[in-house]
Amino acid sequence: MDKKLKIYLSFVYLISFSIFIILNYKYISEFNLINVIFLLIVIILVNNFSMFFNSMTEITTSMNLPVLIPAFVVLNPFWVGIIAAIGTIEYTAKNMKFVWYKFLFNRSVFFLAASTAALIFRVVRPILDGDSFPMLSILSAILIYFLINNTLVYIVINISREDVNKFSLLNYFRELSKNLITSYFIGLILLASYINFGKVFFLLIIVLLFIIKDFFYSRLQQMNSYTQIIESFLKVIDSKDHYTEGHCERVAEYTYHLCGEMNLSRAKSERIISIAKIHDIGKIYVDDDILRSSNKLTKQEYSDIKEHTQYGYELLKDIDILNNDLDIILYHHERWDGGGYPEGIKGDKIPVGARILAVCDSLDVMITGRSYKPPMTKEDIIEEFEKCAGKQFDPEIAKEMIKLIKKGFFDDSFKSKEKIREMELSYS
Ligand SMILES: [Fe+2]
Ligand SMILES: [Fe+2]
């Protein structure tokens, strides 16, 4: 062991032991066995459950501090220190070597931080909170706890691991402090339940917190894999971008504005926008020559292209988290009047996401033009939507789109009359 580390560890042990002796002497007579044992068991369980959940979710949130908050109030500083030191002992896996000086260091740090914080709490409570709920004094106590605990750990990391990048103390605190605010509020809830409703209720709240945490995390993880899947398929589309030329991404952008205009819920909008990004994924199965052809398509070629909705659906249908949204892909070429494909369903039978997509998809065709027809002007596009509302498009959605266009949302994309005139000449 390095000499510097030896000196530092001895210093921490010594300070911690001195505080232990002083507090022991002062508070030994003040002792509530039931509270001590109860909170000690809770912190041991919570600590080991946290580890279990953390290893599953890779989120490092510690519930130690929230459980210590009620302890600041109901126990004296000596016993707060003791339960913090013992309760945070972690199960050492068989393949991990037990290192006695690390073990002792951790116990000393927890004892020192928790007992000092509890002392501070006792001192500042009458000044800051008086007889009311101890919000401010708890805040002061956890700040002290946080500072002592993390400064001591920061120093030991920097002394013992030469190879590690020496990150600044400020950065280190900034990262860790994100959990501090959550811990504070969770701790206040636990304290209120402990004081007002007793130990059973307190335990129920802890169990509830674990469930909520897990629930939120699995939702978060699901959203992440959703985005990852979409991004991967986007790459596939990009690799064939010679015919789409960013079509899907533009449609997704229009969808974003349209969903906003229609006041759809955020969750629903996000799903429609994500699907919009890959709505023509089925075109990867359509022959390149047909997609690139600038001639009028034959009947057979046109029916091949129409298959892309079905292909897209088939391609993605086995991915569970996309499953509920795939009808948007399948039906994005259906028409309000029933004249679309693949099934010719009409009106409300067409999922709303698909109706939105149909409008945005057509907007892109009108703005950019196709090999057989030039782009349209803003005025023409408005006219086209008015004409097709209730026929090709859901009249309500078409109305919202017209509003958006009139408000100038897509002005950057519209080509001027002169530019289009030039294009028309080259088409003829
Ligand atoms: Fe399409
Ligand atoms: Fe499309």
Compute the distance from residue 280 Cα to the ligand 2 centre, in Å. 5
Q: Separation of 422 CA from ligand 2 center, angstroms? A: 26
Task: Return the ligand number nearest the Cα of 332.
Answer: 1
CA of 355 to the centre of ligand 2 (A): 13
Domains annotated on the chain, with CATH: 3-219 (no CATH), 240-427 (1.10.3210.10)
Least distant ligand from the CA of 361: 2
Q: How far is the CA of 350 from the centre of ligand 1 (A)?
A: 15
Alpha helices, DSSP H only, in 129-198? 135-160, 169-197
Task: Specify the pLDDT at position 380.
Answer: 92
> 356 CA to middle of ligand 2, Å?
12
Provide CB contacts within 8 A for 101, sequence distance 6+.
1, 9
Long-range own/partner contacts, residues 62-67 (CB < 8 A, 24 or more apart): 62/179, 62/183, 63/186, 63/206, 63/209, 64/88, 65/142, 65/145, 65/146, 65/180, 65/183, 65/187, 66/183, 66/186, 66/187, 66/190, 67/39, 67/42, 67/43, 67/187, 67/190, 67/206
- What pLDDT does 320 receive? 79
Question: For position 318, what pLDDT does the model report?
Answer: 85
CA of 248 to the centre of ligand 2 (A): 6
CA of 135 to the centre of ligand 2 (A): 56
How many angstroms separate the CA atoms of 102 and 84, rounded? 16
Q: How far is the CA of 307 from the centre of ligand 2 (A)?
A: 13
Q: Which ligand is nearest to the Cα of residue 310, counting in written order?
A: 1
Residues of the chain with pLDDT under 70: 1, 49-62, 91-96, 161-169, 171-172, 175, 178, 213-221, 238, 240-245, 417-428
Neighbours of ion ligand 2 (CB under 5 A): 280, 361
* Residue 134: exposure state from Cβ atoms within 10 A (0-12, 13-18, ≥19): buried
Identify residue 349 by its one-letter amino acid code: K
From the CA of 146, how far away is ligand 2's center (Å)? Answer: 54
pLDDT score, position 47: 76
Residue type, 397: I
